[in-house]
A and B are shown apart, each in its own frame.
Chain A
Amino acid sequence: MSPDERIDFSSLDPAREPARWQAVVAATLRRAEAVLQERRRAQDPLNLIAQWMRPVLLAAAFVLALLLPLELRLELEERQRQPARRLASLSVEWAAGAPPSRAVLLAALGGGAR
């Protein structure tokens, strides 16, 4: 027998047990299909947008959480400053020769005292 003749490996051929080999192939393809399904899901445009949107929304929520107390504080300060501004404006009008009525003056003073 020539050393370059094929060795008979037929007893190791998976095709000798077709049902068994087909089951191995089918199991492999099932697992590959599951991987590809996940891949398609990840590549779906809506998913891509959702993936992109999620961090943007998170960042927006974070910024809002930071800015909201600041906005409330500024608004409160503004509200506190309003009576003083009103008094200043009445004083200017008074100095210009247009004295405010007693009711207006008391209302402005009352607001400032609050």
Chain B
Amino acid sequence: MRASDAELVRRVRRGEPAAAGELAERYLRAARAVALALTRSEPDADDVCQDAFVTAIQRIDDCREPERFSAWLMQIVRNRARNHLRHAAVRAAAPLEDVAALAAPAASPAWAAEQARLRARLLLALGELGEERREVVLLHDLEGWTHAEIAERLELPSGTVRSHLHHARRRLRQLLRAERETPE
């Protein structure tokens, strides 16, 4: 049976790495999506989500509602991301030089260039949305979270989540279409 978040948090408090691994499995991608929504930079998002997760493990005793671990983690991610943006300094978090060396090697240069262009367009368009809308649209359309999960984990009313998602998608489509139609 799948352990609840509260149970995993209790096990982390006892020092069990497997429980931390399970929490990472559940929420590290979402943490990255939230970090990406704020930083709009993939390398920064990788740094921030890593840093935020480790901070959450360090401060696990401060998680007053273990059943709401994900909401608590996302708040740490937001704080870290804002801090990261403020200082705009490379953190001593990860050996990301090693990680960078692992970047997709197989694709053709043309495909890689097209992907990079697409990423840049998406990140630019995301920048036109408010922070909350960015988080909602990334968690829903990239991470596959449901409206209910987003509402619970971001501590937003369900109606707000639906509205954010609707407006975010509409605005992103407008921006991406306009960009496509603009001659280079």
Contact = CB atoms under 8 A, between A and B. Distances in A.
Contact of B20 (A7, A12, A32): A32
A35 B15 CA distance: 9
Contacts of A37: 15
Nearest to A28: B50
B57 A23 contact: no
Interface string B17-41: 1001100100011001000100000
Contacts of B93: 31
Interface residues of B, number: 45
Interface string B122-161: 1100000000000001101110000000000000000000
Contact of A12 (B100, B122, B169): B122
Nearest to A10: B142
A3 B173 contact: yes
A11 B119 contact: yes
A27 B94 contact: yes
Contact of B99 (A4, A7, A11, A20): A20
A13 B15 contact: no
Which label, helix, strand, loop or mixed, suits the secondary structure of the B interface?
Answer: helix
A20 B94 CA distance: 12
Nearest to A42: B15
Interface in B110-125: 115, 118-119, 122-123
Given A24-B50, A25-B28, A9 B20 contact: no
28 contacts: A3-B173, A4-B166, A6-B141, A7-B122, A7-B173, A12-B36, A14-B29, A14-B46, A17-B102, A19-B102, A20-B104, A24-B50, A27-B50, A27-B99, A28-B24, A28-B49, A28-B54, A29-B17, A29-B24, A32-B20, A32-B21, A32-B53, A32-B57, A35-B54, A36-B15, A36-B20, A39-B15, A43-B15
Which 3 pairs, one residue from A and one from B, show the smallest C-beta to C-beta distance?
A: A40-B15, A9-B142, A19-B102
Interface of B: 12, 14-17, 20-21, 24, 28-29, 32, 36, 42, 46, 49-50, 53-54, 57-58, 93-95, 98-100, 102-104, 115, 118-119, 122-123, 137-138, 140-142, 165-166, 169-170, 172-173
Interface of A: 1, 3-9, 11-14, 16-17, 19-20, 23-25, 27-29, 31-33, 35-37, 39-40, 43
